[in-house]
Amino acid sequence: MVFGARVWKTGIAVTLALYISAWLNFTPPVIAAVAAIFAMQPSIYRSWRYFLEQLQTNIVGAALALFAGMFFSNNVIAIGIICILVIIICLRMGMEETIGLTLVTVVAVMEASAEWQFAVNRFLLSLIGIGCAFLINVLFFPPKPKAQFAAQIHTVFNKMSLLLRTVISDEMKENVFRTEKEGLLKTIQALADKYKLMEEEVKKLKRGGGVFSQKRQLVIFKQMLRTLYKGAEVLDAVEEHYFQAAPSDKTDAFFDEQLEKLIKFHEHTLLKFEDKLKADSSEGLEMEAENERFMVTLIEKYNERPQGMLRLSVVAAAMYDYGHQIARLDKLVDHYHRGDADDKDKEPIEALLKSIRLK
């Protein structure tokens, strides 16, 4: 978790949970605070799902703890056995995310032995914390993974383009390059996490008539991620194979020029999606043709079998795939802005969404 709205909301939810617990004279209020901390989720859908799952598992856990407490009081061995049983039940129900907070409820209830009034008190404290977290998450700065994704995509691309523009010339210090590359991979993974949140909300919440339009955006966002992954693979290929091939200055210029074209095309596609550039349907076709010419030229050189060409072909293949994915993204952006998809296109869009695989 980075410093942001979720941090503030967690603090507010804890405060609200403590205040409500004190107002209702429920003790100890720390249980409500712990529940609020556990229940703060990164999206509205996950908050709602977590609330429902916690409601189910906490009822089961509290019931088992109350029943066991009648026979074993607060015996430490009995508490451990019930905790194991509750964990197994949560796993069987497919609600492993609820285990931590459910166990807090179990321990708190069993601590009260057979006094059902205290058991209900502790159970309600957990529900107060969960409810406060859900309420605050929805009302105050509700999570907007789509806006966060759109804001971060250019930041990630800029990091990647800097590395791609300097990787062939080997201008960047090795330790700096590795640090920047590791940071790039982490930010791409963070984008992938944001995408999963968007996908969950669109598929599960299904809000109104704009669902289909949101799914079309998901297709584009997913392809954006795939393109970034392919760009990162070019960095891997260059680092692993290019310099071991002992390329000449002419070869450096040949690869560097192609990389510059790919980066520029990628940047134009992202700007086109944001509707900042004029749509040009021929641009993608021209880039695909350029990508083909690059490979043909390399194959012709390979037939001459210069030293190290096998390693260079691995790098070229990674660059070709990167360019292919950019061209695919460009086509999707063109279709999106033309708005040529009607209700009959829903199945193809769904199929395309499933066909784009991420790492």
pLDDT 10s digits, 99-119 = 888 888 888 777 766 567 777
Percent of the chain clearing pLDDT 90 (strictly above): 10
The overall average pLDDT reported for the chain is 80
pLDDT range class, residue 280, cuts 50, 70, 90:
low
Q: Which of 31-35, 152-156, 229-233, 239-243 has the highest mean pLDDT?
A: 229-233
pLDDT range class, residue 347, cuts 50, 70, 90:
very low
Asked if the model's pLDDT at residue 230 lies above 90, the reply is yes
Phi, psi dihedral angles at 75 (to 5 degrees) = -60, 130
Task: Give the 3-state secondary structure of 70-102.
Answer: HHHCCCHHHHHHHHHHHHHHHHHCCCHHHHHHH
Asked if the model's pLDDT at residue 226 lies above 90, the reply is yes
- Higher pLDDT: 23 or 4? It is 23
Q: How far apart are the first and last CA of the chain?
A: 22
- Per-residue pLDDT, 353: 52
pLDDT range class, residue 233, cuts 50, 70, 90:
very high
Q: Give the mean pLDDT of 28-36.
A: 85
**Cβ partners under 8 Å of residue 262, min gap 6:** 164, 287, 291, 319, 322, 323, 326
Q: Give the mean pLDDT of 132-142.
A: 81
pLDDT 10s digits, 299-323 = 776 665 556 777 888 888 899 999 9
pLDDT 10s digits, 142-168 = 767 777 787 788 889 999 999 999 888
Measured CA to CA, the distance from residue 12 to residue 132 in angstroms comes to 9
pLDDT 10s digits, 64-76 = 888 887 777 777 8
Locus of tokens 């930041």 = 155
pLDDT 10s digits, 40-54 = 877 777 777 888 888
